[in-house]
Structure 1
Amino acid sequence: MRGNMNLTSFTDYGLRMLMRMSSAPGRAFSTADLAEEFGLSRNHLTKIMQRLAQGGIVETRRGVNGGAVLHRDPAEIRLGEVVRLLEQGQALVECFGPEGGECTIEGCCRLKSRLRQAESRFIDDLNRSTLADIALPRQAAA
């Protein structure tokens, strides 16, 4: 059970990649370069990039100058939107999951609605910031 507001590593790494990409919005970033910078598995980053592409946050391009590029201006990409996309399928608590868990107090639980409200406020609060707000400093050209 994830009873606190910890983000999954999937979301953590996804945000880090987007922070780097926001430093040069028009540039295509390869998963190999991003994996090297953050010391992460390329395979893991590829899965995260696929989710970001499915959600319309990035666009992936093939070819010599291929890689992932931000699909929109970083100032238009809200953090809550990104977190919601990346945390998809990760229930805050067991009873929010697709199977509903094995909870024995389902019928009389007054916690569930409060947790839903807290989760909603968490996303709303993140949505007050954009990728532009958390962009990493621009890297010097290699």
Structure 2
Amino acid sequence: MRLTSYTDYTLRTLIYLGMNRDRLVTIQDIADNHLISKNHLMKVVYQLGTVDIVETIRGRNGGLRLKKDPSEINIGEIVRWTETDFHMAECFDRENNRCVLSPSCKLQGVLVAATRSFLNVLDAVTLDELLVLEKPGKKKLMPSPVRIYPSLKAKAKVDAV
């Protein structure tokens, strides 16, 4: 599963706004901080404004801020809203599916379950939880590295060690 740049920029924008709730933020601030095109961010911010997640204030001293509390912004909803589709393979697209295995293939069911699991994890997270970098006395939440194996043989070699 790979998120589009649009989703990535949307999540980065929300995190930046959540971490800077004490002030108005400009699109240029976000663009400079994340080395993202200001033009791309303008589209992201416009869309976030249309769904009442971000408030935009015009004028010389204007800027952006979250319109909702970070605890009310569900990451799974954001990803579903920003992603155009979750077609993991050709067989997910009934109109353009030319795979000869589709009538009897069980891979599609496995991929549907994997996508559902992916989204279920995101559904359990709010923006507020992403803003907590480290709390005293709590273990820092860092994801385990994901190993990418070019083949099952390579994985078997690593597992054998």
Q: Given the two structures, how large is their TM-score scaled by the length of structure 2?
A: 0.67
The answer to whether the Cα contact below 8 Å between 1:29 and 1:69 also exists between their aligned partners in 2 is: yes
User: Structure 1 residues 90, 117: closer, same or farther in 2, change over 3 A?
Assistant: closer
1:140 aligned partner: none
1:89: Cα distance to partner?
Answer: 3.5
Structure 1 residue identity aligned to 2:4? T
Q: How many percent of aligned residue pairs carry the same amino acid?
A: 38
Of 119, 131, 135, which aligns to 2:127? 131
Equivalent residue, structure 1, for 2:98: 102
Q: In the aligned structure 2, how far is the partner of 1:19 from the partner of 1:54?
A: 18
Per the TM alignment, residue 100 of structure 1 is displaced from its structure 2 partner at its CA by: 4.0
2:31 pairs with 32, 35, 45, which one? 35
CA change 1:21–1:128 in 2 (3 A) is: same
Gapped regions of structure 2 (runs ≥ 5): 134-161
| More contact order relative to length (CA 8 Å, sep ≥ 6) | 1
* Equivalent position to 1:72, from 68, 75, 88: 68
How big is the shift at 1:122?
1.0
Q: Any idea what SS the aligned residue of 1:107 has?
A: coil
Kept in 1, the 8 Å contact 2:14–2:127? The answer is yes
Q: CA deviation at 1:13?
A: 2.1
Give deviations 1:4-44, integer Å, cap 9, x for gaps.
x2222222222111111111336442212211111111111
Deviates more, 1:95-104 or 1:27-36: 95-104
Specify every segment of 5 or more residues in structure 1 that has no aligned partner in the other structure, as ranges: 138-142
Query: Which among 4, 8, 18 is matched to residue 4 of structure 2?
Result: 8
User: Judging changes above 3 Å, is the alpha-carbon distance between structure 1 residues 103 and 30 closer, same or farther for their aligned structure 2 residues?
Assistant: farther
1:50 to 19, 43, 46: 46
CA contact (8 A) 1:74 1:132 kept: yes
Contact residue 86 and residue 115 of structure 2 kept, 8 A: no
Distance change >3 Å, CA 101–CA 34, structure 1 → 2: farther
1:22 matched to 2:23? The reply is no
2:32 partner letter: E
Q: Number of aligned pairs?
A: 133
